[in-house]
Amino acid sequence: MSETLQLARQLISRRSLTPEDDGCLDIIGARLTPLGFSLEKMRCGAVDNLWARRGSAGPLVCFAGHTDVVPTGPLDQWNSDPFTPEVRDGMLYGRGAADMKGSLAAFVTAIEKFVAEHPQHRGSIAVLLTSDEEGVAVDGTVRVVEALRQRNEMIDYCIVAEPTSVAKTGDTIKNGRRGSLSGTLTVRGLQGHIAYPHLLKNPIHLAAPAIVELAATTWDGGNEYFPPTSWQISNIHGGTGAANVVPGTVEILFNFRFSTASTVDGLKSRFCAILDRHGLEYDLRWELSGKPYLTPRGNLVDAVGAAIREVTGMETELSTGGGTSDGRFIADICPQVIELGPLNATIHKINECVAVADLDALSGIYRLTLHKLLTE
């Protein structure tokens, strides 16, 4: 049993349902302290965060991740206890095996081996961990980033251990993520009896032409790394429950997934211009849950790609697809952020698992990346 597998099993056995850490940070901290890391616990609300750093010089390479996991779902549908890690047919099963306790174990053992080989390496290594990524994510990584920014402690390169691979570990890395801008639009009309249309204003009918135009609008054309921005409605609420009453309002919940080709202010302005052009009376609430970020080809992308090639023989692909991650917060203090982890096929599912061989491969990729960034 490799050291990476042992550590992954130890972490999976902790019932760290978000936002609980259940001792995972202590387990990892105990591995980092003998390597010369200084540990800084940051407790925010009910969330445990850790900032650990070895060295004070630049460049600073950071590994980031989360110890919390999503709920298990029906226990009777699991083939084994989700918090009792079990290896079957070369696969490690347990909640968090892929997302992302296997990755955490891999980067800890990678750091251990790298420091043993290069105790006097240049630059610094850091670890940023939170127990608030799978939940509301308001007291986790974003708080650590705020604290680091206040004391002007910047990061040069960051690897977020999210599960990014599709068919084989290392085949895909995320070098950016789209932003997420949500809104709640309430269109006002005039409630009335459905049989007297001249005495009412149907807000659903009023909103319909605007919805058609919004859905047909090309917000941008994307760019080399991002697909075009998309606008989607997720919910529409209207009506009193009675079949003969036209409601006074209709509520529309929507979301922009947008690239670096658009700005928040630009999307808001164009959206409101369409509503105004259709003469709607409305109220509008916005919520920005994440700005887009992008790491073009450069030192970090090249180093990770070369490490993947040496360990697996594959050429990795760059992707900005999927949802948001804590990389959106780290990008505020780090110009180069990528995400790399194992296969994402079973994340958040019943019988979540990761290939045992992939854990060691991932540890090797992380170690070689450190070598390329801090010794060459």
224 catalytic? Reply is no
Residues present in the chain in total: 376
Between helices 102-117 and 356-374, what is the axis angle to 10°?
Answer: 40
Question: Phi/psi class of residue 170: alpha, beta or left (left: φ > 0; alpha: ψ in -120 to 50)?
Answer: left
Exposed/middle/buried for residue 326 (C-beta within 10 Å: 0-12, 13-18, 19+):
buried
* DSSP 8-state class, residue 229: P
- Per DSSP, the three-state class of 337 is strand
* H-assigned helices in 18-140: 24-32, 102-117
Q: What tokens appear for 119 in the block?
A: 């105790």
Exposed/middle/buried for residue 196 (C-beta within 10 Å: 0-12, 13-18, 19+):
exposed
Catalytic residue among 133, 134, 326, 358: 133
Determine the distance from the C-alpha atom of residue 290 to the mean position of all C-alpha atoms in its chain, rounded to a whole number.
10
Catalytic residue among 68, 132, 139, 358: 68
**Residue among 358, 357, 297, 373 nearest 125 (CA):** 373
Sign of torsion over alpha carbons 39, 26, 164, 88: positive
Pairing between β-strand 293-294 and β-strand 47-54 as defined by DSSP bridges: unpaired
Angle value at C-alpha 48, between 46 and 50, nearest 5 degrees: 160
Angle value at C-alpha 273, between 267 and 274, nearest 5 degrees: 95
339 catalytic? Reply is no
Strand locations in 33-108, DSSP E? 38-44, 47-54, 60-66, 86-88, 91-93
Residues tagged active-site: 68, 133
